[in-house]
Chains A and B, each alone.
Chain A
């Protein structure tokens, strides 16, 4: 008995957390699967009626849903590419030794730690078409004032600017972690071969940290797809439905229109997209032994 307990100690230590995870994370997901095939109205206690795949079919006939998909892809591409490029450049900069490096790096990472609602609020003030400081800056370099989040055409790129500003530090930190563990031999070889600084970065550094950049890209893709706070606080999906991404669509269907069956079906579709992307993440992680 004592011996058994000894061996099972590790299992017993996992059990409470595992039960909690099952209860608060897995169970809701399974419950969602069930709701997605039933007619379910919030607040009404009538027994849900089995609908089969009708909710899914309804989703694919829903124009707002179909329009939200390319919009989400547009936002995600911008919100992945820009932070990855700028974040990698920032990581290369912060990998060098210079005075004040630690403090500057911390200040640079503040956007990803700051409360998203607060961030969104201040950006909204800066984007104000008449009184905003950004249009003032543009006027200084003779660019006509923009409508930013207030025009259907520019709302998605504008939100992507905020997303980029917020999450570039995240990419920087991951790539910086990769740069910190690079072997020195390839650099010595490059030095002997007379490579310039830029050549060294292009042909030595980037290929060596590529697995880290890939990890950053995949994590960023998942997070950009799920982005909610910034978009909802600044536009609530507007003007009209111009910034209604999948996540905002979901929120509105569930909690503004109480369309539980439809939103459950969309949750399942959304979840499958994310799982497919994460399998990619796992493959990359396995290849790189990144912690």
Chain B
């Protein structure tokens, strides 16, 4: 009886502690959604309206009517897809080559990329792009976003390729496969989960990136985070539309994370990476 009682107390305590850990995150996203769905009157009321009685989509309509939201979304998409594609194309073979030839010195370079602040690339890149006439082009943005994606893909894939048993590939080599052939036909299919994870992470970190585009993109080439940042300065306390825009930008990322939760978590833990 006493033991059962203690167990219950322990469970309740654990539940409370867990609730405390989760509360800031749950409330934050609740508040983000609620700001975007509430009327102006409710958003600027004090005390704040915690449980709105009327919900509206007018904030979303406002965002599409008063900004070139679709154009910015296309910009973000082009840059994220372009840089992720390039990162996979270059990074998958490289990760494999490093894993098989054990040239870990190359991996060290990647660590340098992981620690270097983005601004140290940006200053020289900004000058060079201007001299090359590449300033304010998709190419410039895709190249700079490759700085985030490529090391990430190599790093994550390196771990996955190290997990592929050498025997499987030896069998392919004996059957007359070239080394590149055994990479394509044996190693790549076996590491497909790694490719998916690193691709998604590279996409997300490019999509989220602010610092490169804020410097390198002109008004027409702005990506979504930059566009919302510039919206902030003239919308002031027009909270509804700002929250709607903030949510629209981050919704694809949140949905990707929620659907592919386990793979993404595994990839992040493997790489110790972030954008």
Contact = CB atoms under 8 A, between A and B. Distances in A.
Interface in B94-124: 94, 96-98, 100-101, 103, 106, 109-124
Contact of B17 (A32, A93, A222): A93
Interface string B55-97: 0000000000000000000000000000000000011011011
Contacts of B196: none
Q: Which of A10, A29, A225 has the most CB atoms of chain B within a 10 A radius of its CB? A: A10
A25 B265 contact: no
A117 interface: yes
A260 B253 contact: no
Interface in A4-27: 6, 9-14, 16-18, 20-21, 24-27
B273 to A, nearest CB: 9
Interface of A is mostly: helix
Nearest to B125: A28
B269 A176 contact: yes
B124 to A, nearest CB: 4
Contacts of A267: 117, 119-120, 123
Contacts of B211: 228-229, 232, 251
B138 interface: no
Interface residues of A, number: 94
Q: Which of A21, A131, A176 has the most CB atoms of chain B within a 10 A radius of its CB? A: A21
A136 to B, nearest CB: 5
Contact of A223 (B46, B96, B274): B274
Given A13-B94, A17-B94, A32-B123, A115 B207 contact: yes
B134 interface: no
Interface string A275-289: 101100110000000
Contact of A274 (B115, B215, B262, B270): B115
Given A35-B124, A93-B17, A25 B116 contact: yes
Nearest to A6: B179
A35 B120 contact: no
B154 to A, nearest CB: 6
Contacts, number: 272
A28 B146 CA distance: 14
A17 B253 CA distance: 27
B159 interface: yes
Interface string B127-165: 110100000000000011011001100100001000000
Interface in A32-49: 32, 35, 40, 42-43
B261 A106 contact: yes
B109 A106 contact: no
Contact of A14 (B48, B101, B125, B210): B101
A200 to B, nearest CB: 14
B116 A29 contact: yes
B121 A25 contact: yes
Interface string B193-214: 0000000000010011011000
Nearest to A270: B117
Given A13-B94, A20-B150, A117-B229, A247 B265 contact: no
Interface stretch (A61-69, A73-81, A122-130): A122-130
A126 B31 contact: yes
A107 interface: yes
A160 to B, nearest CB: 14
Contacts of A12: 97
B190 interface: no
A32 B109 contact: no
A86 B97 CA distance: 39
B120 A32 contact: yes
A203 to B, nearest CB: 20
A59 interface: no
A114 interface: yes
A237 interface: no
28 contacts: A9-B97, A14-B97, A20-B90, A24-B147, A25-B113, A28-B124, A28-B125, A28-B128, A29-B116, A29-B121, A42-B127, A93-B14, A106-B258, A114-B254, A118-B247, A118-B249, A122-B31, A130-B46, A131-B237, A165-B25, A215-B272, A223-B274, A232-B210, A232-B211, A233-B229, A254-B122, A260-B123, A274-B116
Interface of B: 14, 17-18, 21-22, 24-26, 28-29, 31-32, 35, 44-48, 50, 90-91, 93-94, 96-98, 100-101, 103, 106, 109-128, 130, 143-144, 146-147, 150-151, 154, 159, 178-180, 183, 204, 207-208, 210-211, 215, 224-226, 228-229, 232, 237, 239, 242-243, 246-247, 249-250, 253-254, 257-258, 261-262, 264-265, 268-270, 272, 274
